Structure formats: structure tokens, C-alpha cells
């Protein structure tokens, strides 16, 4: 028998008033990625056949972020049941199950989604994902029958004291046959304390028809809804814990895991060592046997095998480090390729440049890449040596094996194996310093006497 198809309907029309932001709630980031994208990643991994996202008016940014997933607009926010009905046209002709999810619940795992779908395929007409929070608070309660099936979902405001004592709560996640779901939703009424059309009423309507309903349980952590900045911080902590565990399971050493922050797309190779207080922004790939020392900030960078970074280094987007390259303390690299074995060990800025294999860039060197209007390129050849406190004014090329004397300002190309030194001639005037001090002391004493 062919496996039934499943479509996800993701509700994301909430304004997120408590976030106090101009951005739609689901566009707030967790681990460097909008929270809606975390949920979509779990949906893709579960290999669902289709997805539709329900958004509110003027939420084009959400539609763009989830593209090519189609978006349906809920013009009037009349409750969760009404929101799901807004996706009906987008699913026209779809035969299979519908899994209703929430864009502000980004911590759901693929495994949990699969368990919900499996319960639906075992025969339950409607499957609801439930959980037992430490504090049930104002969550809707799941009322079970004598055989453990789901009899009803009761919203907190409509619950009796006995029902409020139930600890099994409704997450909002639900699975049902598409035809049945939309048929039941068409019969839902809004005669309740909030005057809304509740998706949860589907369970009562299904039970009236004698159809079996079931509950799948999940950890409270997965069902955290993000409605405020505080809840966003809690969700960030959960995701970071997951990412740290994954990194270590895959062969990386984190010296102080709790102080390392990852982005969702960070990729670490095996035998990578990460020191304390390292931050990975989006777009970072790290090869095997790399050492990243304490207090580094890395974003949009690719780090080659055996490279050493830090401490206190900053790799900005476009930084590419070759095999066994060294980027040391207080070095910033942006849009620059550091080839195999090249070194910039301290106090250096390298932007819009190439540093050839085996080259050495001395302390205090900067590539002067911006003239106030345009960025220009600096090319440092293989095996070149750049003396400390040098300024390389782009566009400029330092040839293979060339040496730039310390303190130089280089404005012209330097041929291969040449020496370039651009600084004023040194003068030595014997006794000048002593005479200067005596003159200044006398001047200071005269001023003091005159006052």
C-alpha cells in the first residue's frame, strides 16, 4: 500500500505584539536564522509532500523568507480554525493528511513530526500533540477517555475547575485527513469566551461522529512558543544546547561549551578544537583539525584543514583560510583569501586581498582597501614578507618572495623578490633630547613664577 501524502499548514499570521517590534514575530532570529526557517527545516527533513504558510496582511517579508513555499493570507484574524481554512484553496485537489503547525514554535523536531504522522496512519481520525508542562497555566487541556483516547480539547477560559486540574495540555499541533479536517472546520462556531473559531473544536466534532482521536506526547522543551523577547532568549538557549551537543557528537572539542555560540548552519569538521567565548555567525565552514582559540568572532568564513585562528581574531564574510594558515590575536580578515601556510599573527587588518602561500604579514599591517567610494584589491605573493606597521594602499601587488620594510607605505607594485622600503630618512642629532628637556623645564618654571 502506498504511503499517504502529508501537507503541512503552518500558521504564522500572529502580529507578535509582545515582541514590541516592527518585524513579524516569526522573522525574529534564533541561532542566526528566522524562527520560521527552523520549523521549515524540520518539515523538510520529515519529507512532507507539500507545505502552505498562513500569514497576515502586510507580511510580505515572511512570504519572501519561506519562498517557494506558497503563502495564504488570513485577512481577518478570527482564530486558529479560521486560519487553517485560509489554506484550503492552496491545497485544492490535495488528497492525504494535513499537519497543522505554528511558525512561532520553532523547536519541534523531525522525530516528533514523524510520530504524529505515524499515529494518524495507524487509524486515528485526528491526532493532537500534547505535553505536560511544569506549569500548565492557561494552556488548553486534553481530556482523555477511559481507554486513553482523546475525547475533547477544552480551552482554559472555557474549562471547569476539574478540567483545569488536568496536566496534559494542548500544543496546537494537529494531524487529520484533509477532507475531514476542512469539513469539520466548516462546522466550527465561535460561541466561546474569546469569540474565535477554534481549531481545537475539530476534536469534539470528530468524536460526535464516533471517530477515534489520539494524543502523541512530546517534551515541553519542543513546544515552547516564542511570543516575547524573554521566550526568544529561552528558545535560543535550547537551540544552542542542541547545536553544541551535535558539534561534540560529530567530533569537535568545545573547551567551555556553554560559552560557544553557533549559527544553525555552522559546520565543524572532526578534531576541531574551539576555545571559550567563540561566536559563529551564519555561513561558517571549518575543516578538520582546526584550532579556534578564545574570544574569536567568525562569520561567513571558510577555514581550511589545520588552520589556527585567534585568540581575539575576527573573520568577516568572504574570509577564506587555506590549509595550516595562521590568523592571530587582534587580526581582522574580510573578503580575503589567506593561502596555505600564510600567517598574520597579530594586530593586522586584511580586507579585499589575497595573501599567497607561506607569506608572512607583520604586526600592525593594514590593507588600505577603501578610498571613501570604492574598494580595491591587494595581492600579496607567495612567500612574501610584509614588515610590521606597513600600509599597503590598494590597488597594489606585492610579488612572490618580495620584502616590504617595516613602517613602509606602499603605493606601487613591488616586483617579485624585491625589497620595498618607503619611509623618511632617519636623522640622529647628538644631545638634542637633553637640550630640549632643559629648555622646556625652564619655560615651565617661568610660567609658574609669572602666575
Cell of 295: 574570544
Asked if 14 and 155 sit in the same domain, the reply is yes
Domain coverage including residue 341: 249-420
From the list 229, 217, 85, the residue with the least C-alpha distance to 150 is 217
Asked if 216 and 275 sit in the same domain, the reply is no
| Distance, CA of 80 to CA of 85 (rounded, Å) | 9
| Distance, CA of 173 to CA of 141 (rounded, Å) | 13
Q: How far is CA 381 from the centre of its chain?
A: 36
Number of domains in the chain: 2
Task: Specify the CATH number for the domain of residue 218.
Answer: 3.90.550.10
CA dihedral 334, 340, 346, 352 (to 10 degrees): -20
Asked if 254 and 356 sit in the same domain, the reply is yes
Which of the residues in the chain have pLDDT under 50?
Answer: 1
Q: Is residue 372 part of a domain?
A: yes
pLDDT confidence of residue 383: 98
pLDDT confidence of residue 2: 56
* C-beta of residue 294 within 8 angstroms of C-beta of residue 311: yes
User: E strands within 320-372?
Assistant: 320-321, 326-338, 343-355, 360-361, 366-368
Instruction: List residues with catalytic annotation.
Output: 346
Asked if 278 and 411 sit in the same domain, the reply is yes
pLDDT confidence of residue 265: 97
pLDDT confidence of residue 14: 86
Asked if 193 and 280 sit in the same domain, the reply is no
Asked if 131 and 96 sit in the same domain, the reply is yes
Asked if 253 and 211 sit in the same domain, the reply is no
pLDDT confidence of residue 1: 42
pLDDT confidence of residue 179: 95
Amino acid at each position: 500500500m502506498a504511503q499517504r501524502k502529508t501537507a503541512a499548514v503552518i500558521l504564522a499570521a500572529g502580529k507578535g505584539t509582545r515582541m514590541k517590534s516592527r518585524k513579524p514575530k516569526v522573522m525574529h532570529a534564533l541561532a542566526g536564522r528566522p524562527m520560521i526557517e527552523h520549523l521549515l527545516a524540520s518539515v523538510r527533513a520529515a519529507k512532507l509532500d507539500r507545505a502552505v504558510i498562513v500569514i497576515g496582511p502586510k507580511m510580505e517579508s515572511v512570504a519572501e523568507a519561506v519562498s517557494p513555499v506558497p503563502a495564504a493570507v488570513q485577512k481577518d484574524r478570527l482564530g486558529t480554525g479560521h486560519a487553517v481554512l485560509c489554506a484550503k484553496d492552496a491545497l485544492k485537489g490535495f488528497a492525504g493528511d494535513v499537519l497543522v503547525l505554528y511558525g512561532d514554535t520553532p523547536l519541534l523536531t523531525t522525530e516528533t513530526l514523524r510520530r504524529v504522522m505515524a499515529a494518524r496512519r495507524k487509524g486515528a481520525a485526528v491526532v493532537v500533540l500534547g505535553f505536560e508542562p511544569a506549569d500548565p497555566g492557561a494552556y488548553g487541556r486534553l481530556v482523555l477517555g477511559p481507554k486513553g483516547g482523546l475525547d475533547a480539547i477544552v480551552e482554559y477560559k472555557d474549562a471547569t475547575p476539574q478540567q483545569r486540574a488536568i496536566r496534559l495540555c494542548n500544543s496546537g499541533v494537529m494531524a487529520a485527513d484533509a477532507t475531514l479536517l476542512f469539513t469539520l472546520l466548516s462546522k466550527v462556531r465561535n460561541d466561546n469566551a474569546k469569540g474565535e473559531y477554534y481549531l481545537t473544536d475539530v476534536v469534539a466534532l470528530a468524536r460526535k461522529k464516533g471517530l477515534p482521536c489520539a494524543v502523541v506526547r512530546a517534551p515541553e522543551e519542543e513546544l515552547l512558543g516564542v511570543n516575547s523577547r524573554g521566550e526568544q532568549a529561552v528558545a535560543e538557549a535550547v537551540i544552542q544546547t542542541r547545536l553544541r551537543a551535535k558539534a561534540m557528537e560529530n567530533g569537535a572539542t568545545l573547551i567551555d561549551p556553554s560559552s560557544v555560540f553557533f549559527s544553525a548552519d555552522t559546520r565543524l569538521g572532526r578534531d576541531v578544537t574551539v576555545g571559550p567565548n567563540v561566536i559563529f555567525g551564519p555561513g561558517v565552514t571549518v575543516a578538520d583539525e582546526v584550532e579556534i582559540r578564545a574570544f574569536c568572532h567568525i562569520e561567513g568564513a571558510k577555514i581550511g584543514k589545520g588552520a589556527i585562528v585567534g585568540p581575539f581574531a575576527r573573520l568577516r564574510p568572504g574570509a577564506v583560510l587555506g590549509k595550516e594558515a595562521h590568523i592571530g590575536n587582534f587580526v581582522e580578515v574580510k573578503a580575503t583569501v589567506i593561502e596555505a601556510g600564510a600567517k598574520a599573527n597579530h594586530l593586522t587588518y586584511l580586507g579585499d586581498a589575497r595573501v599567497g602561500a607561506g607569506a608572512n604579514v607583520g604586526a600592525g599591517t593594514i590593507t588600505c582597501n577603501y578610498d571613501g567610494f570604492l574598494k580595491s584589491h591587494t595581492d600579496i605573493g607567495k612567500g612574501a614578507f610584509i614588515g610590521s606597521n606597513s600600509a599597503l594602499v590598494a590597488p597594489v601587488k606585492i610579488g612572490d618572495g618580495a620584502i616590504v620594510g617595516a613602517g613602509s607605505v606602499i603605493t606601487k607594485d613591488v616586483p617579485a623578490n624585491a625589497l620595498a622600503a618607503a619611509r623618511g630618512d632617519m636623522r640622529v642629532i647628538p644631545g638634542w633630547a637633553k637640550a630640549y628637556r632643559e629648555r622646556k623645564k625652564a619655560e615651565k618654571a617661568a610660567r609658574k613664577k609669572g602666575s
